[in-house]
Chain A
Amino acid sequence: GEQVEQRPPHLSVREGDSAFITCTYTDPNSYYFFWYKQEPGASLQLLMKVFSSTEINEGQGFTVLLNKKDKRLSLNLTAAHPGDSAAYFCAVSDGGSGNKLIFGTGTLLSVKP
């Protein structure tokens, strides 16, 4: 089945720096890709969805890049601020059914003032 590897597990940056998180997946049939943010003690907040026809998506303060050739999904938080400190998870839909999510192992981001 699908396997998703996420790097790095921990990331510490200064306020104003960028933070780059990458996920690689194995199933070439995966079609839907998501990034979630989880603040301490809170649930998962959807940041961005990416579909197979989309290569770059820009959100508020971040950019998501999908490279289907390399089976790589990345999240770049530009000009990070302390409020971005949280755990970030990528998720890939099951290639067969397009339903259940397979999550990466998460990246714990700390943004220091």
Chain B
Amino acid sequence: NAGVIQTPRHKVTGKGQEATLWCEPISGHSAVFWYRQTIVQGLEFLTYFRNQAPIDDSGMPKERFSAQMPNQSHSTLKIQSTQPQDSAVYLCASSLESGYEQYFGPGTRLTVL
């Protein structure tokens, strides 16, 4: 089992540019989660899909952030007009079912200059 795959591992954008982060969950897992990790805020929940349907996006900044899961094998997190405060490690996790243990990918370190 390859585990959760995230690409790219590192991304550097200029202020105002767009960033798209990719996540491939563990095969057979029906739930996909996105979290953000910073030194100041710690680990924060962003959004969650179950069987590709968006279930909870309560942690997503209302402007500029969007997430999709077009098929069971990948999810994307898109940040439009990136700002320096978006700099963080973005973590994707998947679980077999809701409420089961979540397995995390290696993360994408986003740096906005």
Q: Report Cα–Cα, A97/B58, bound state, in Å.
A: 12
Assess whether A46 is in contact with B101, with CB atoms less than 8 Å apart: yes
Binds A, one of B12-20, B40-48, B73-81: B40-48
CA distance A102 to B101 in the complex (A): 13
A32 partner residues in chain B, CB cutoff 8 A: 99
Interface size on B, residues (CB 8 A): 24
Interface on chain A toward B: helix, strand, loop, or mixed SS? strand
Decide: B105 and A101 in contact? CB cutoff 8 A.
no
Is A43 in contact with B45, judged by CB distance below 8 angstroms?
no
Q: Chain A residue with minimal CB distance to B34?
A: A100
Chain A: interface residue count, which band? 20 to 34
Chain A residues with CB under 8 Å of chain B are 31-32, 34, 36, 42-46, 49, 89, 91, 93, 97-103, 105-106
Residue of B nearest to A46 (CB): B101
A102's nearest neighbour on chain B, judged by CB, is B45
User: How near does chain B come to A12, taking the closest CB pair, in angstroms?
Assistant: 19
